[in-house]
């Protein structure tokens, strides 16, 4: 399984390098972020965790350009499932909207059970209608229970979306 992970990571790196190299040579590349923008989300519903429980979530994102080649994005959310949970992330990136995004992210999750901090590089590859996203790095978990030890270790997330 470990060798499959490294093969997949190498394949992603090669695809990203090829796309980045091809587009870096193009003089008429679109800006990383064309104008300040954002979005707001509201979700509500019921979960069945041994019994029904109401859940609500509010989230927002703001993205601003930093010159032509870079962007900065801030994400925040709060939810009530189960218990009050808040999350946030700050992304600094360069991007060709037709091909890729490469940057770094610092994020946190605060829940009744723990606070988790995570930081590391992120990448996206845009392939027609598909987007392949990856984020990895180091995460630190600080449990609220005194008997639980703090933990620090690597993490990797790979997501495909259409």
Query: 1 pLDDT band (50/70/90 cuts)?
Result: very low
Least confident span in 1-5, 54-58, 59-63, 89-93: 1-5
As a whole number, mean pLDDT of residues 141-146 equals: 91
| pTM score of the predicted model | 0.76
DSSP assignment of the chain: -HHHHHHHHHHHHHHHHHHHHHHHT-SSPPPS-SS-EEEEEEEEEEEEESEEEEEEEEEEEEEEEETTTEEEEEEEEEE-TTS-EEEEEEEEEEEETTTEEEEEEEEEEE-SSEEEEEEEEEEEEEETTEEEEEEEEEEEEEESSTTSPPEEEEEEEEEEE-
């Amino acid at each position: 399984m470990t060798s499959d992970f490294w093969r997949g990571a190498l394949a992603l790196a090669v695809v990203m390098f090829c796309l980045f190299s091809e587009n870096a040579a193009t003089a008429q590349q679109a800006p990383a972020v064309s104008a300040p923008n954002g979005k707001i989300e509201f979700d509500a519903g019921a979960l069945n965790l041994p019994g029904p429980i109401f859940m609500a979530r509010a989230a927002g994102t703001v993205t601003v350009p930093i010159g032509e080649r870079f962007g900065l994005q801030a994400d925040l959310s709060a939810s009530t499932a189960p218990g009050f949970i808040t999350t946030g992330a700050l992304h600094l990136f360069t991007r060709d909207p037709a091909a890729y995004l490469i940057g770094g992210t610092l994020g946190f999750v605060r829940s009744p059970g723990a606070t988790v901090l995570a930081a590391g590089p992120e990448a996206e590859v845009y392939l027609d209608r598909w987007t392949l996203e990856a984020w990895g790095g180091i995460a630190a978990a600080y449990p609220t229970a005194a008997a639980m030890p703090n933990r620090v270790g690597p993490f990797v997330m790979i997501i495909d979306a259409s």
